[in-house]
Amino acid sequence: MATFKDKTVLVTGGAEGIGFLMGKKSLQEGARHLIIWDINKESIQSAVDTLTSLSFSVSAATVDVSDPEAVKTNAEKVLTEYGNVDILFNNAGIIVGKPFHEHSVQDIQRTMGVNTLAFMYVTNAFLPSMMERNSGHIIAITSSAGLTPNPGMVVYVASKWAAVGWVESLRLEVRRTHPGIKFLNVMPGYIGTKMFAGVTPPRLLPLLDPERITNRIIDYIKRERRTLRAPVLVKFTTFIRGLLPAPLYDFIADKVLNVYSSMNTFQGK
Protein backbone atom coordinates (compact mmCIF):
# COMPACT_ATOMS: atom_id res chain seq x y z
CA MET A 1 0.00 0.00 0.00
CA ALA A 2 1.24 3.45 -0.93
CA THR A 3 0.79 6.44 1.35
CA PHE A 4 0.48 10.18 0.94
CA LYS A 5 1.80 10.90 4.42
CA ASP A 6 4.64 13.44 4.43
CA LYS A 7 4.86 13.40 0.62
CA THR A 8 5.41 16.31 -1.75
CA VAL A 9 2.70 16.37 -4.41
CA LEU A 10 2.59 18.31 -7.69
CA VAL A 11 -0.56 18.68 -9.77
CA THR A 12 -0.61 20.23 -13.24
CA GLY A 13 -3.88 21.97 -14.03
CA GLY A 14 -4.35 21.91 -10.29
CA ALA A 15 -6.32 25.11 -9.74
CA GLU A 16 -9.74 23.85 -10.85
CA GLY A 17 -11.82 20.74 -11.48
CA ILE A 18 -10.49 17.36 -10.50
CA GLY A 19 -6.96 18.78 -10.47
CA PHE A 20 -7.89 20.92 -7.49
CA LEU A 21 -9.79 18.06 -5.88
CA MET A 22 -6.87 15.64 -6.27
CA GLY A 23 -4.54 18.15 -4.65
CA LYS A 24 -6.95 18.77 -1.80
CA LYS A 25 -7.52 15.04 -1.23
CA SER A 26 -3.75 14.46 -1.23
CA LEU A 27 -3.38 17.00 1.58
CA GLN A 28 -6.26 15.45 3.50
CA GLU A 29 -4.47 12.11 3.15
CA GLY A 30 -1.43 13.58 4.92
CA ALA A 31 0.73 15.06 2.15
CA ARG A 32 3.35 17.43 3.54
CA HIS A 33 3.13 19.97 0.73
CA LEU A 34 1.13 20.56 -2.46
CA ILE A 35 2.51 22.34 -5.52
CA ILE A 36 -0.05 23.62 -8.02
CA TRP A 37 0.90 24.38 -11.61
CA ASP A 38 -1.74 26.08 -13.71
CA ILE A 39 -2.03 28.76 -16.37
CA ASN A 40 -4.97 30.65 -14.87
CA LYS A 41 -3.65 33.16 -12.32
CA GLU A 42 -7.04 33.95 -10.81
CA SER A 43 -7.91 30.29 -10.33
CA ILE A 44 -4.49 29.64 -8.81
CA GLN A 45 -4.95 32.39 -6.23
CA SER A 46 -8.42 31.14 -5.35
CA ALA A 47 -7.15 27.56 -4.95
CA VAL A 48 -4.23 28.61 -2.77
CA ASP A 49 -6.42 30.83 -0.60
CA THR A 50 -8.95 28.03 -0.11
CA LEU A 51 -6.35 25.43 0.85
CA THR A 52 -4.20 27.66 3.05
CA SER A 53 -7.33 28.71 4.93
CA LEU A 54 -7.59 25.03 5.89
CA SER A 55 -4.03 25.18 7.29
CA PHE A 56 -2.51 23.15 4.46
CA SER A 57 0.97 23.81 3.05
CA VAL A 58 0.54 24.93 -0.56
CA SER A 59 2.58 26.75 -3.18
CA ALA A 60 1.79 27.51 -6.80
CA ALA A 61 3.25 28.79 -10.03
CA THR A 62 1.80 29.99 -13.30
CA VAL A 63 3.21 27.47 -15.76
CA ASP A 64 2.32 26.76 -19.38
CA VAL A 65 3.07 23.04 -19.35
CA SER A 66 3.09 22.93 -23.15
CA ASP A 67 6.22 25.11 -23.07
CA PRO A 68 9.26 22.87 -22.44
CA GLU A 69 11.44 25.76 -21.25
CA ALA A 70 8.82 26.91 -18.76
CA VAL A 71 8.51 23.35 -17.46
CA LYS A 72 12.28 22.96 -17.14
CA THR A 73 12.75 26.28 -15.34
CA ASN A 74 9.93 25.72 -12.88
CA ALA A 75 10.88 22.08 -12.27
CA GLU A 76 14.40 23.14 -11.34
CA LYS A 77 12.93 25.61 -8.83
CA VAL A 78 10.77 22.88 -7.32
CA LEU A 79 13.66 20.41 -7.02
CA THR A 80 15.91 23.07 -5.49
CA GLU A 81 13.33 24.12 -2.92
CA TYR A 82 11.70 20.78 -2.06
CA GLY A 83 14.33 18.21 -3.04
CA ASN A 84 11.94 15.96 -4.92
CA VAL A 85 8.36 15.37 -6.01
CA ASP A 86 6.97 12.15 -4.59
CA ILE A 87 3.60 12.10 -6.34
CA LEU A 88 3.13 13.70 -9.74
CA PHE A 89 -0.31 14.26 -11.24
CA ASN A 90 -0.19 14.91 -14.99
CA ASN A 91 -3.65 16.38 -15.16
CA ALA A 92 -3.70 19.55 -17.28
CA GLY A 93 -5.89 19.17 -20.33
CA ILE A 94 -7.88 21.15 -22.89
CA ILE A 95 -10.43 20.38 -25.59
CA VAL A 96 -11.52 22.14 -28.76
CA GLY A 97 -14.98 20.71 -29.31
CA LYS A 98 -15.70 21.45 -32.94
CA PRO A 99 -15.31 19.72 -36.33
CA PHE A 100 -11.74 19.10 -37.38
CA HIS A 101 -11.93 21.33 -40.46
CA GLU A 102 -12.78 24.27 -38.20
CA HIS A 103 -9.61 23.83 -36.15
CA SER A 104 -6.83 26.32 -36.66
CA VAL A 105 -3.22 25.17 -36.67
CA GLN A 106 -2.95 26.83 -33.25
CA ASP A 107 -5.90 24.76 -31.97
CA ILE A 108 -4.16 21.58 -33.06
CA GLN A 109 -0.77 22.53 -31.68
CA ARG A 110 -2.20 23.71 -28.38
CA THR A 111 -4.29 20.56 -27.86
CA MET A 112 -1.43 18.19 -28.62
CA GLY A 113 0.94 20.36 -26.59
CA VAL A 114 -1.14 20.39 -23.41
CA ASN A 115 -2.70 16.93 -23.59
CA THR A 116 0.29 14.94 -24.81
CA LEU A 117 3.63 16.71 -24.96
CA ALA A 118 3.17 18.36 -21.57
CA PHE A 119 2.85 14.94 -19.92
CA MET A 120 6.22 14.06 -21.42
CA TYR A 121 7.89 17.38 -20.58
CA VAL A 122 6.75 17.36 -16.94
CA THR A 123 7.53 13.70 -16.33
CA ASN A 124 10.90 14.05 -18.06
CA ALA A 125 11.73 16.86 -15.64
CA PHE A 126 10.96 14.89 -12.48
CA LEU A 127 11.55 11.25 -13.41
CA PRO A 128 15.38 11.36 -13.04
CA SER A 129 15.14 12.39 -9.37
CA MET A 130 12.60 9.61 -8.79
CA MET A 131 14.98 7.15 -10.43
CA GLU A 132 17.81 8.25 -8.15
CA ARG A 133 15.65 7.24 -5.18
CA ASN A 134 13.82 4.39 -6.94
CA SER A 135 10.69 5.92 -5.51
CA GLY A 136 7.77 7.97 -6.77
CA HIS A 137 4.28 7.80 -8.18
CA ILE A 138 3.30 9.16 -11.60
CA ILE A 139 -0.37 9.59 -12.41
CA ALA A 140 -1.57 10.36 -15.93
CA ILE A 141 -5.13 11.63 -16.30
CA THR A 142 -5.67 10.49 -19.88
CA SER A 143 -9.21 9.64 -21.01
CA SER A 144 -11.53 6.95 -22.26
CA ALA A 145 -11.22 8.96 -25.48
CA GLY A 146 -7.82 7.29 -25.74
CA LEU A 147 -9.60 3.99 -26.34
CA THR A 148 -12.25 4.77 -28.94
CA PRO A 149 -12.89 7.21 -31.79
CA ASN A 150 -15.38 10.03 -31.30
CA PRO A 151 -16.49 12.68 -33.80
CA GLY A 152 -16.50 16.27 -32.61
CA MET A 153 -13.31 15.88 -30.61
CA VAL A 154 -10.89 14.35 -33.10
CA VAL A 155 -7.76 16.24 -32.05
CA TYR A 156 -8.55 15.65 -28.39
CA VAL A 157 -8.96 11.95 -29.15
CA ALA A 158 -5.63 11.90 -30.99
CA SER A 159 -3.91 13.56 -28.05
CA LYS A 160 -5.35 11.06 -25.60
CA TRP A 161 -4.54 8.01 -27.74
CA ALA A 162 -0.95 9.25 -27.73
CA ALA A 163 -0.99 9.89 -23.99
CA VAL A 164 -2.32 6.41 -23.25
CA GLY A 165 0.37 4.80 -25.39
CA TRP A 166 3.06 6.94 -23.80
CA VAL A 167 2.23 6.22 -20.16
CA GLU A 168 1.64 2.50 -20.70
CA SER A 169 4.97 2.14 -22.52
CA LEU A 170 6.83 4.25 -19.97
CA ARG A 171 5.49 2.13 -17.12
CA LEU A 172 6.84 -1.02 -18.75
CA GLU A 173 10.18 0.62 -19.49
CA VAL A 174 10.73 2.03 -16.01
CA ARG A 175 9.73 -1.09 -14.09
CA ARG A 176 12.64 -3.01 -15.64
CA THR A 177 15.19 -0.93 -13.76
CA HIS A 178 13.26 1.06 -11.14
CA PRO A 179 10.36 -1.04 -9.84
CA GLY A 180 9.88 1.33 -6.91
CA ILE A 181 8.36 3.94 -9.22
CA LYS A 182 4.64 3.36 -9.66
CA PHE A 183 2.26 4.49 -12.39
CA LEU A 184 -1.48 4.99 -12.63
CA ASN A 185 -3.23 5.61 -15.96
CA VAL A 186 -6.67 7.13 -15.35
CA MET A 187 -9.07 6.81 -18.31
CA PRO A 188 -12.39 8.39 -17.33
CA GLY A 189 -15.39 9.11 -19.47
CA TYR A 190 -17.03 12.52 -19.32
CA ILE A 191 -16.64 14.21 -15.94
CA GLY A 192 -19.15 16.78 -14.72
CA THR A 193 -16.78 19.78 -14.76
CA LYS A 194 -16.68 23.00 -16.81
CA MET A 195 -14.39 21.31 -19.32
CA PHE A 196 -17.23 19.13 -20.60
CA ALA A 197 -20.17 21.44 -19.99
CA GLY A 198 -23.13 20.64 -22.21
CA VAL A 199 -22.11 17.17 -23.39
CA THR A 200 -24.84 14.56 -23.64
CA PRO A 201 -23.64 11.48 -21.74
CA PRO A 202 -23.89 8.32 -23.86
CA ARG A 203 -26.26 5.55 -22.80
CA LEU A 204 -24.75 3.33 -20.09
CA LEU A 205 -21.93 5.88 -19.66
CA PRO A 206 -23.20 8.36 -17.09
CA LEU A 207 -21.50 11.67 -16.36
CA LEU A 208 -18.91 11.08 -13.64
CA ASP A 209 -19.17 13.00 -10.38
CA PRO A 210 -15.89 14.91 -9.78
CA GLU A 211 -15.71 14.10 -6.07
CA ARG A 212 -16.39 10.39 -6.57
CA ILE A 213 -13.89 9.89 -9.38
CA THR A 214 -11.30 11.83 -7.37
CA ASN A 215 -11.84 9.55 -4.38
CA ARG A 216 -11.37 6.52 -6.64
CA ILE A 217 -8.15 7.94 -8.06
CA ILE A 218 -6.74 8.49 -4.56
CA ASP A 219 -7.79 4.97 -3.56
CA TYR A 220 -6.15 3.46 -6.65
CA ILE A 221 -2.91 5.30 -5.89
CA LYS A 222 -2.89 3.96 -2.35
CA ARG A 223 -3.54 0.44 -3.63
CA GLU A 224 -0.84 0.84 -6.32
CA ARG A 225 -3.22 -0.06 -9.11
CA ARG A 226 -2.02 0.53 -12.68
CA THR A 227 -5.18 1.55 -14.52
CA LEU A 228 -8.52 3.10 -13.67
CA ARG A 229 -11.30 3.06 -16.25
CA ALA A 230 -14.69 4.53 -15.44
CA PRO A 231 -17.63 4.22 -15.76
CA VAL A 232 -17.92 0.45 -15.91
CA LEU A 233 -18.49 0.09 -19.66
CA VAL A 234 -15.15 1.78 -20.35
CA LYS A 235 -13.43 -1.28 -18.86
CA PHE A 236 -14.61 -3.32 -21.84
CA THR A 237 -14.00 -0.82 -24.64
CA THR A 238 -10.73 -2.29 -25.87
CA PHE A 239 -12.09 -5.83 -25.75
CA ILE A 240 -15.28 -4.91 -27.60
CA ARG A 241 -13.41 -2.96 -30.30
CA GLY A 242 -11.05 -5.88 -30.81
CA LEU A 243 -13.85 -8.42 -30.94
CA LEU A 244 -16.37 -6.72 -33.22
CA PRO A 245 -15.99 -5.83 -36.90
CA ALA A 246 -15.47 -2.07 -37.25
CA PRO A 247 -18.87 -1.39 -38.91
CA LEU A 248 -20.70 -3.22 -36.11
CA TYR A 249 -18.73 -1.44 -33.40
CA ASP A 250 -19.46 1.91 -35.05
CA PHE A 251 -23.17 1.08 -35.27
CA ILE A 252 -23.36 0.20 -31.57
CA ALA A 253 -21.31 3.21 -30.48
CA ASP A 254 -23.31 5.53 -32.70
CA LYS A 255 -26.90 4.28 -32.81
CA VAL A 256 -27.20 2.25 -29.60
CA LEU A 257 -24.97 4.06 -27.10
CA ASN A 258 -25.03 7.51 -28.74
CA VAL A 259 -21.29 7.96 -28.13
CA TYR A 260 -20.71 9.53 -31.53
CA SER A 261 -23.32 12.24 -30.97
CA SER A 262 -22.35 13.06 -27.39
CA MET A 263 -20.38 16.17 -28.40
CA ASN A 264 -23.22 17.65 -30.44
CA THR A 265 -24.36 19.72 -27.46
CA PHE A 266 -20.89 20.56 -26.13
CA GLN A 267 -20.54 24.02 -24.57
CA GLY A 268 -17.38 23.54 -22.49
CA LYS A 269 -14.22 25.56 -22.47
Domains for the chain: give ranges and CATH numbers: 8-261 (3.40.50.720)
Strands (DSSP E) along the chain, which ranges?
8-12, 33-38, 58-62, 87-90, 136-141, 181-188, 227-230
More confident: 156 or 1 = 156
Q: What is the pTM of this model?
A: 0.97
How far apart are alpha carbons 7 and 255 in whole angstroms?
47
How far apart are alpha carbons 147 and 143 in whole angstroms?
8
Q: What is the pLDDT of residue 228?
A: 98
Q: What average pLDDT is seen over the chain? A: 97
Q: What is the pLDDT of residue 268?
A: 80
Q: What is the pLDDT of residue 39?
A: 98
Please report which confidence band the pLDDT of residue 269 belongs to, taking 50, 70 and 90 as the band edges: low
Mean pLDDT of 7-30: 98
| Span 83-137, pLDDT tens digits | 999 999 999 999 999 999 999 999 999 999 999 999 999 999 999 999 999 999 9
**Ramachandran angles phi, psi of 137, nearest 5°:** -140, 125
| Span 162-206, pLDDT tens digits | 999 999 999 999 999 999 999 999 999 999 999 999 999 999 999
Cβ contacts of 24 within 8 Å, gap of 6 or more: 51, 56
In three-state secondary structure terms, 82 is helix
Tally Cβ neighbours within 10 Å of residue 243: 10
Is 190 tagged catalytic?
no
How far apart are alpha carbons 207 and 145 in whole angstroms?
14
Among candidate residues 156, 190, 220, 260, the one labeled active-site is 156
